[in-house]
């Protein structure tokens, strides 16, 4: 019993000091549950999600999701390799699936497991619009925002079960995980992270879509369409969502920077 107690104290101590650097901002962020534990859990939850939902295959849209996803993933790898973070994505197992659902939603779990819902396609409208959404969601995953969305208690609970992957048999933990990574929104719209994380994901996502060869100013147009669609969504969603006009202004101001980053990789034309 005593041994168990000191082991758990040791474990909590490890939780508190674990830190990782956000490769895009250089900021230290807490990584309370390490990738070695979070990724197997993410992969398991992703597989489960796919078996419980209708995956669209062999349509033009399904192919577009895979194609754009591959380009965004390649952009992330090029950017990280060039900025001293080679190997940052070595444990990623990229996957891109389109799900048949009216929800206006998309998310990326840590490890590069992406889902786009058919309900968001009328708003993304075209390939460049989809690249804006996927760039944004991948940015959340790269910057490790999901974990930072969890409370300390939730992290401890997850960290405690992660080692033996009891997650699938524990609905409460699955709930924590899914909420943190944007699954299972009951509002029928994309679940926002905190304002600062949303802004960070917009910035990183813009750079990724530009390196992938897409016109970054399309992201501003996308969020304008999103704003129009959000009329009529519940106030609880709007109260936590970053103001769309600020977001659009930010994105427009970052477009030259995103293009300058892309040019470093020889990308000089941007598809819209």
Binding to Zn ion (CB under 5 A) within 199-228 occurs at 201
Query: Token pair 């940015």 is at which residue?
Result: 139
CB 192 to Zn ion: min, Å = 6
Please work out the total of residues on this chain that contact Zn ion, with binding judged by CB under 5 A. Answer: 2
Which residues are bridge partners to 104 per DSSP?
189
Catalytic one among 77, 95, 127, 137?
137
Round to whole Å and give the CA distance between 129 and 114.
16
Round to whole Å and give the CA distance between 66 and 161.
32
For Zn ion, the closer CB: 138 or 161? 138
Question: For residues 212, 142, 193 and 30, what is the CA-based torsion angle, rounded to 10 degrees?
Answer: -160
Round to whole Å and give the CA distance between 48 and 54.
12
Query: Token pair 């477009």 is at which residue?
Result: 255
For Zn ion, the closer CB: 34 or 192? 192
Residue 38: HSE in the Cβ half-sphere, 13 Å Cα cutoff:
26
Residues 95-124, mask of contacts with Zn ion (x by CB under 5 A)? ------------------------------
Q: Is 221 a catalytic residue?
A: no
CB 54 to Zn ion: min, Å = 24
CB 140 to Zn ion: min, Å = 6
Give the list of residues 6+ apart from residue 76 with CB closer than 8 angstroms, or none: 89, 138, 142, 208
CB 247 to Zn ion: min, Å = 10
CB 177 to Zn ion: min, Å = 17
State both tokens at 163: 């080692």
CB 222 to Zn ion: min, Å = 12
For Zn ion, the closer CB: 88 or 107? 107
Chain-centroid distance of CA 235 in Å reads 23
For Zn ion, the closer CB: 39 or 201? 201
Binding to Zn ion (CB under 5 A) within 174-203 occurs at 198, 201
For Zn ion, the closer CB: 95 or 198? 198
For Zn ion, the closer CB: 15 or 106? 106
Nearest Cα to 30, choosing from 110, 136, 143, 134? 143
Round to whole Å and give the CA distance between 6 and 2.
6
Residue 97's region, left for phi above 0, alpha for psi from -120 to 50, else beta, is beta
List residues with catalytic annotation.
137
Instruction: List residues near Zn ion by CB under 5 A.
Output: 198, 201
């Amino acid at each position: 019993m005593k041994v168990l107690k000191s082991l758990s104290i040791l474990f909590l101590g490890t939780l508190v000091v674990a830190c990782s650097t956000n490769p895009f901002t250089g900021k230290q962020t807490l990584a309370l549950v390490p990738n070695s534990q979070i990724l197997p859990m993410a992969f398991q939850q992703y597989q489960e999600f796919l078996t419980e939902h209708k995956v669209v295959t062999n349509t033009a849209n399904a192919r577009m999701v895979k194609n754009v996803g591959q380009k965004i993933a390649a952009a992330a790898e090029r950017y990280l390799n060039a900025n001293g973070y080679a190997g940052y994505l070595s444990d990623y197992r990229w996957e891109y699936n389109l799900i048949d659902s009216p929800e206006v939603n998309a998310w990326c779990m840590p490890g590069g497991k992406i889902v786009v819902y058919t309900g968001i396609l009328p708003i993304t409208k075209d390939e460049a619009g989809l690249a804006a959404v996927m760039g944004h969601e991948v940015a959340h995953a790269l910057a490790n925002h999901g974990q930072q969305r969890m409370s300390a208690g939730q992290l401890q609970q997850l960290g405690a079960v992660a080692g033996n992957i009891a997650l699938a048999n524990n609905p409460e933990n699955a709930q924590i995980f899914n909420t943190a990574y944007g699954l299972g929104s009951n509002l029928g719209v994309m679940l926002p992270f905190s304002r600062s994380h949303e802004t960070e994901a917009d910035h990183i996502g813009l750079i990724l879509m530009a390196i992938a060869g897409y016109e970054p100013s399309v992201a501003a147009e996308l969020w304008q369409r999103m704003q129009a669609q959000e009329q009529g969504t519940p106030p609880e969603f709007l109260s936590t969502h970053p103001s769309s006009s600020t977001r659009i202004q930010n994105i427009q101001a970052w477009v030259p920077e995103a293009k300058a980053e892309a040019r470093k990789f020889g990308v000089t034309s941007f598809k819209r």
